């Protein structure tokens, strides 16, 4: 800019100098001519007047010329100073000499040198501008990529169903997703860069403490199970907190992931309960078998009738033990897909009759009446005999188990030929199931909390019923219950198609 201005000034000042010199020369010539041509006039004039007149004109002209030269000189000096300062700005090698010889800068050679430098400078500047333009473009591209990446990371974090929260070294929120906001009680989109102590509700103090502890310990990751009340229910979270390190391996933040393990925890507790119950359930019939056999061996059965009774108990308890083992094994086999299925055409009424005989002695022990209403009409199904027998006996034994002495258990079957289905209903006058627990009764290991004290069990029987009916036979299980009144458990199976040969 300054260089360009200097060049313009130099050009213009050159023109002014020429104009001023031309003006002075013209005035001198005109005056001399006027003096010569006016001789006749001057002859008529007084000599003194002539002398005075001619002296004064010449003097004025010379003074004007001298003034012009002085002004031009001063202007030249100023110009030279300005150019010299430009040269100094350009860091000229000879810039120091300008102070000693101010006008030396106006030498054509010097001006040419200066011009060359300015040209070089311009070229350098242009290349710099080009380079910076390129760098700006690259930075813009990188910024765009970076923004896209950040958006992408945010989208990933937002799409995670676990709660994710990222804080910086000053414990300010850098990023969080909706589940984290919901769990920790803040608006995740409006809380960025706010201190987490201010945004996270005081009920989650344990989490804040764990976060702070992990950051201070500078360890790579820490894990802890956190329990919290959410919507009135106890929830368990597996909380993993990892430190974020900068290039100097200093902790510059932490990221926390909270995974809801409430269901896993419940299943784990149910499994523990199951192991506890199953050992008891297995040992109880075994205890009867052992005790009665020992009694027989010790001749404690005094008469034939007692002996027969002892044999019957041993047989019943062995069957009970077998049913239990079958439940456990079949559950495992169905889950692993290793079970062998032998489907054959069978009559539902016949299957029910067989299982009623099995359960009769157990019902009699508990003084419970069993009513069977199973007409052998259009009840042919194409099923695995052992499995459906297990379904019926599990539902019947459950009904007996949860019915008080003097109660009734009814089993009936209904055929819907139009829909090509058969429905079996087992109704008891037992304790019933509370509404909030009914949806879980077919879950594995699940036992109705309020009925745990009523009778023992493994929590496998109903789950097995569901698996056999729905997974293996494309049927459906259902339950209706009222606390204190009783329950109706049922299942529905497709009728055998007519081209299958029926055997009963």
Partner 1 sequence: MEQKKVLIVDDEIHIVHVVAIKLRNNGYEVISANNGAEAYELACDIKPDIIVTDFQMPVMTGMELVEKLRENEQTKNIPVIMLTARSFAVTKEQREQLHISDCLSKPFSPRELLVNIEDILYQNELVAEAK
The residues of the shown chain that bind partner 1, judged by CB under 8 A, are 276, 279-280, 283-284, 286-292, 294-295, 298, 300-302, 306, 313, 317, 365, 453-456
| Closer Cβ to partner 1, 323 or 385, answer by number | 323
Number of Cβ atoms within 10 Å of the Cβ of 463: 21
Strands 233-245 and 221-230: what pairing? antiparallel
| Closer Cβ to partner 1, 359 or 391, answer by number | 359
CB 482 to partner 1: min, Å? 21
| Closer Cβ to partner 1, 74 or 287, answer by number | 287
Any bridge partners for residue 488, and if so which? 427, 480
**CA-based angle 255:260:265, to the nearest 5?**
130
Buried b (16+ CB within 10 A) or exposed e, 249-263: eebebbbbbbebbee
CB 309 to partner 1: min, Å? 9
C-alpha distances in Å from residue 373, one per residue of 129, 346, 426: 98, 18, 10
| Closer Cβ to partner 1, 387 or 448, answer by number | 448
Find, among 90, 77, 164, 93, the residue nearest to 125 by Cα: 90
CB 362 to partner 1: min, Å? 10
Percent of the chain as helix, strand, coil, to the nearest 5: 60, 20, 20
362: tokens are 């157990």
| Closer Cβ to partner 1, 318 or 502, answer by number | 318
Q: Where are the beta strands (DSSP E) in 387-485?
A: 408-416, 421-428, 476-482
Any bridge partners for residue 195, and if so which? 172
| Closer Cβ to partner 1, 174 or 301, answer by number | 301
CB 427 to partner 1: min, Å? 22
Helix locations, 185-303, DSSP H:
196-199, 205-217, 262-297
**CA-based angle 327:332:333, to the nearest 5?**
95
Q: Which residues contact 99 (CB under 8 A, 6 or more apart)?
A: 84
CB 398 to partner 1: min, Å? 15
CB 449 to partner 1: min, Å? 13
CB 424 to partner 1: min, Å? 28
Length of the chain: 504
| Closer Cβ to partner 1, 364 or 417, answer by number | 364
| Closer Cβ to partner 1, 392 or 448, answer by number | 448
């Amino acid at each position: 800019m300054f260089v360009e201005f200097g060049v313009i000034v130099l050009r213009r000042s050159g023109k002014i100098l020429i104009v001023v010199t031309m003006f002075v020369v013209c005035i001198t010539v005109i005056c001399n001519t006027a003096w010569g041509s006016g001789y006749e006039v001057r002859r008529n004039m007084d000599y003194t007047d002539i002398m005075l007149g001619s002296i004064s004109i010449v003097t004025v002209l010379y003074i004007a010329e001298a003034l012009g030269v002085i002004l031009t000189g001063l202007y030249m000096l100023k110009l030279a100073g300005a150019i010299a300062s430009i040269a100094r700005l350009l860091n000229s090698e000879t810039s120091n000499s300008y102070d000693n010889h101010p006008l030396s800068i106006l030498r054509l050679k010097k001006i040419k040198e200066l011009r060359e430098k300015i040209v070089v400078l311009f070229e350098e500047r242009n290349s710099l501008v080009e380079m910076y333009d390129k760098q700006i473009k690259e930075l813009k591209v990188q910024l765009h990529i970076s923004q896209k990446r950040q958006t992408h990371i945010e989208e990933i974090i937002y799409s995670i169903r676990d709660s994710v929260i990222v804080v910086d070294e000053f414990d300010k929120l850098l990023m969080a997703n909706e589940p984290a906001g919901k769990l920790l009680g803040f608006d995740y989109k409006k809380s960025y860069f706010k201190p987490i102590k201010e945004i996270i509700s005081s009920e989650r103090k344990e989490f804040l403490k764990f976060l702070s502890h992990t950051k201070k310990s500078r360890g790579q990751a820490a894990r802890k199970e956190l329990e919290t009340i959410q919507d009135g229910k106890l929830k368990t979270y597996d909380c993993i907190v990892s430190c974020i390190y900068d290039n100097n391996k200093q902790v510059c933040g932490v990221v926390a992931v909270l995974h809801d393990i409430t269901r896993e925890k419940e299943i784990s507790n149910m499994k523990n309960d199951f192991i506890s119950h199953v050992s008891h359930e297995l040992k109880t019939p075994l205890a009867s078998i052992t005790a009665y056999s020992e009694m027989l061996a010790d001749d404690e059965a005094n008469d034939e009738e007692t002996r027969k009774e002892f044999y019957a108990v041993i047989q019943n308890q062995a069957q009970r033990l077998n049913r239990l083992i079958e439940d456990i094994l079949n559950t495992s086999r169905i889950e692993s897909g290793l079970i062998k299925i032998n489907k054959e055409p069978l009559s539902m009424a016949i299957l029910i009759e067989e299982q009623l005989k099995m359960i009769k002695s157990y019902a009699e022990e508990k003084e419970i009446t069993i009513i069977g209403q199973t007409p052998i009409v259009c009840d042919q199904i194409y099923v695995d005999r052992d499995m459906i027998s297990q379904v019926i006996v599990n539902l019947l034994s459950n009904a007996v188990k949860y019915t008080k002495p003097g109660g009734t258990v009814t089993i009936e079957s209904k055929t819907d030929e139009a829909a090509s289905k058969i429905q079996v209903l087992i109704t008891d006058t037992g304790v019933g199931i509370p509404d909030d627990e009914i949806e879980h009764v077919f879950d594995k290991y699940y036992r109705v909390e309020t009925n745990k004290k009523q009778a023992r069990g493994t929590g496998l029987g109903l789950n097995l019923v569901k698996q056999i009916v729905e997974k293996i036979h494309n049927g459906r299980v259902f339950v209706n219950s009222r606390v204190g009144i009783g329950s109706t458990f049922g299942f529905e199976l497709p009728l055998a198609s007519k081209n299958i040969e029926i055997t009963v």
